[in-house]
């Protein structure tokens, strides 16, 4: 197989001049471009990690929900607990005059009386800690997948650590320990989405990349959709059950991932590890029914060495960040992408946690948001194959911002209309988030791709829980700020180059050559 395929790459041009050296992208397409069904299934298995990621991101919509309460029958005639007071907080009411609608252990807010003990700040502490951990992990761990650990090891470390923190949360005795564990979970979870998307797309040919990316978004939607089902099943039980049934299955999944999925051969070549890349390619080629002992002579011609790209091999853990910092075009792309992702991320991660303030049923609201995520995955798949990235993100962020601001204008008593506006805004934001992620993977070369995509995903989420807690009193703090933030994020997209139909570069130098040929750098 390989010998026949290498002929065009090794042949001389019609002018008698030697053909140019093949790039890593050329060689990867030759070896794994004709993606077979088993190869595709392995990439989809990697993409399914997003299901567990979604569960940990949005689990606090149920575990940290502020439950409803009611006056006890014996005190309904007492002026201290009347029908009109049920809309307010029960903190000022005498003990014994009111009770939660569900068992106190159903939520951390009711079990530890957080709303009365510390107000919005303490109620939002666990969720804020989780997203603060995501922010810290995004900055401190993002380069490891490009430098020391690689995509597969970083993904496994992230999933296992996130799941262990979830299991330990079952035994949390108070909100402070619980918040610390959520911080730890968020810290390691920050790399799950990035490593999943990058590894899965690097295991297949470019013909199947959009399909694998869509599979990751479908996995995220399925994980999100599983939460209301689990929460409803344990609606009268402890919130700790939610963490058990989302964390333990993830640990079992990690075992499958370890034994069945190879490391990205593209990353191995960029790091100069030719023998490891050869073994990974043999695994992939054998899945497609081809000869696993095919010639790999072209690997010698495309392997990147230390003098080719400082971010490719050696140079330390933060060499990838230095490589982007030293190049003006790379820094401008990273800054514009991070600025755009701030508003999109704030909206995307914050809106599902804010559905409790809509006045509608919590299980129904979260289910509708999860279904919107599923529909967004379908729309993303269609958009990335048929539309420009820039125009798609700009239109989607504008639509999400307008619908979110509509939630502020619609009165609280019109719960159905507010729910419809919220679902539409979340649908647009989900699609914008998905397209922006694919856009980011196409803008940066393999040597810095995981670092760049990781940095675009860390902003925005940390501020969302506080805004949600304040938004229980006034929608302007939640829906209003979310709408303005995501609407303004689209203003940074015109600063970025269009990548539709563009080949994937593997080093900074190769990206510069490709962009110079197009007059963009």
Q: How far is CA 2 from CA 12, 291, 414, in A?
A: 18, 9, 64
Per this entry, what is the length of the chain?
A: 521
Query: What DSSP letter does each residue of 223-258 carry, written as one string?
Result: HHHHHHHHHHHTTTS-THHHHHHHHHHHHHHHHHHH
Greater confidence (107 vs 477) lies with 107
Residues 343-383 have pLDDT tens digits of: 888 888 777 776 655 556 778 888 888 898 889 988 988 88
67: left (phi over 0), alpha (psi -120 to 50) or beta: beta
Q: Is 81 within the bounds of a domain? A: no
My answer on whether 328 and 460 are in the same domain is yes
Residue 316: pLDDT over 60: no
The CATH number given to whatever domain includes residue 424 is 1.20.1250.20
- Percent of the chain whose predicted confidence (pLDDT) is above 70: 79
**Are both 328 and 441 inside the same structural domain?**
yes
Residue 328's pLDDT is: 85
Asked whether residue 49 is domain-assigned, the answer is: yes
- Distance of alpha carbon 268 from the chain centroid: 24
450 contacts 146 by C-beta, under 8 angstroms: yes
In which element (H, E) is residue 69 found? strand 69-71
Domain count, the chain: 2
Candidates 340, 475, 462, 356; CA nearest to 405 is 475
User: Do 63 and 158 lie in a common domain?
Assistant: yes
Is position 165 within any domain? yes
For residue 239, what pLDDT is reported?
94
Lowest mean pLDDT among 412-426, 460-474, 488-502: 460-474
* Last residue within a domain, chosen from 240, 258, 291: 291
pLDDT tens digits, residue range 10-59?
A: 444 444 444 556 667 777 777 776 777 888 898 899 999 999 999 998 89
Confirm whether 304 is domain-assigned.
no
Per-residue confidence (pLDDT) for residue 73, from 0 to 100 = 67
> From CA 497, how far away is CA 337, in angstroms rounded?
11
Tell me, yes or no, whether 321 and 222 share the same domain: no
CA separation for the pair 211, 124 (Å, rounded): 37
Claim to verify: residue 324 and residue 181 sit in the same structural domain: no
Pick the closest to residue 51 from 221, 253, 280 (CA basis): 221
Residues 408 and 481 in one domain: yes
User: Does a structural domain hold residue 302?
Assistant: no
pLDDT of residue 74: 61
Which of 297, 361, 390 lies closest to 30 in space, CA to CA? 297
Torsion of CA 40, 42, 47, 53, to 10 degrees: 170
Q: Domain of 345?
A: 314-520
399: pLDDT strictly greater than 70: yes
- Tell me what pLDDT residue 355 has: 65
Q: Are residues 358 and 285 both part of a single domain?
A: no
Do 282 and 340 have their domain in common? no
Q: Is residue 89 part of a domain?
A: no
């Amino acid at each position: 197989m390989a010998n026949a395929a290498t002929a065009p790459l090794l042949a001389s041009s019609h002018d008698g001049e030697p053909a140019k050296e093949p790039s890593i992208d050329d060689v990867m397409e030759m070896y794994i471009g004709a993606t077979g069904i088993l190869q595709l299934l392995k990439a989809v298995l990697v993409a399914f990690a997003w299901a567990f990621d979604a569960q940990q991101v949005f689990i606090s919509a149920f575990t940290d929900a502020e439950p409803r309460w009611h006056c006890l029958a014996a005190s309904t005639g007492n002026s201290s607990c009347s029908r009109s007071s049920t809309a307010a907080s029960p903190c000022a009411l005498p003990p014994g005059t009111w009770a939660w609608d569900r068992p106190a252990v159903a939520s951390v807010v009711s079990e530890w009386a957080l709303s009365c003990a510390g107000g919005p700040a303490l109620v939002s502490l666990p969720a804020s800690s989780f997203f603060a951990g995501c922010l810290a992990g995004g900055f401190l761990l993002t380069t490891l997948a490009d430098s020391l650990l690689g995509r597969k090891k970083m993904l496994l470390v992230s999933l296992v650590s996130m799941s262990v923190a979830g299991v330990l949360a079952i035994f949390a005795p108070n909100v402070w320990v619980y918040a610390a564990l959520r911080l730890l979970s968020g810290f390691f979870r920050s790399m799950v989405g990035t490593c999943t998307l990058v590894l899965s797309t690097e295991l297949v040919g470019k013909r199947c990349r959009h399909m694998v990316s869509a599979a990751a978004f479908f996995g995220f939607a399925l994980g999100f959709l599983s939460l209301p089902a689990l929460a409803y099943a344990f609606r009268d039980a402890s919130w700790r059950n939610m963490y058990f049934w989302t964390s333990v299955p993830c640990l079992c999944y990690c075992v499958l991932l370890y034994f069945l999925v190879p490391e990205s051969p593209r990353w191995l070549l960029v790091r100069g590890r030719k023998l490891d890349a050869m073994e990974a390619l043999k695994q992939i080629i054998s899945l497609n029914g081809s000869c696993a002992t095919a010639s790999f002579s072209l690997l010698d011609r495309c392997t990147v060495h230390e003098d080719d790209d400082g971010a490719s091999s050696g140079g330390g853990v933060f060499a990838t960040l230095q490589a982007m910092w030293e190049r003006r075009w790379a820094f401008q792309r990273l800054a514009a992408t991070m600025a755009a992702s701030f508003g999109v991320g704030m909206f995307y991660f914050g809106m599902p946690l804010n559905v409790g303030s809509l006045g509608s049923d919590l299980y129904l609201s979260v289910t509708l948001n999860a279904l919107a995520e599923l529909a967004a995955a379908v729309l993303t798949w269609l958009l990335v194959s048929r539309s420009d990235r820039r125009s798609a993100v700009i239109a989607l962020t504008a639509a999400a911002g307008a619908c979110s601001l509509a939630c502020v204008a619609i009165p609280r008593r019109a719960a159905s209309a507010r729910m419809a506006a919220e679902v539409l805004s979340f649908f647009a934001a989900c699609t914008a988030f998905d397209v922006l992620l694919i856009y980011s993977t196409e803008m940066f070369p393999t040597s810095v791709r995981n670092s760049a995509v990781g940095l675009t995903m860390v902003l925005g989420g940390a501020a969302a829980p506080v805004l949600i807690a304040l938004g229980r009193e006034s929608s302007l703090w939640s829906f209003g700020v979310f709408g303005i933030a995501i609407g303004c994020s689209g203003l940074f997209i015109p600063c970025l180059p269009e990548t539709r139909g563009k080949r994937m570069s593997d080093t900074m130098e190769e990206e510069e050559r490709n962009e110079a040929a197009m007059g963009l750098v």
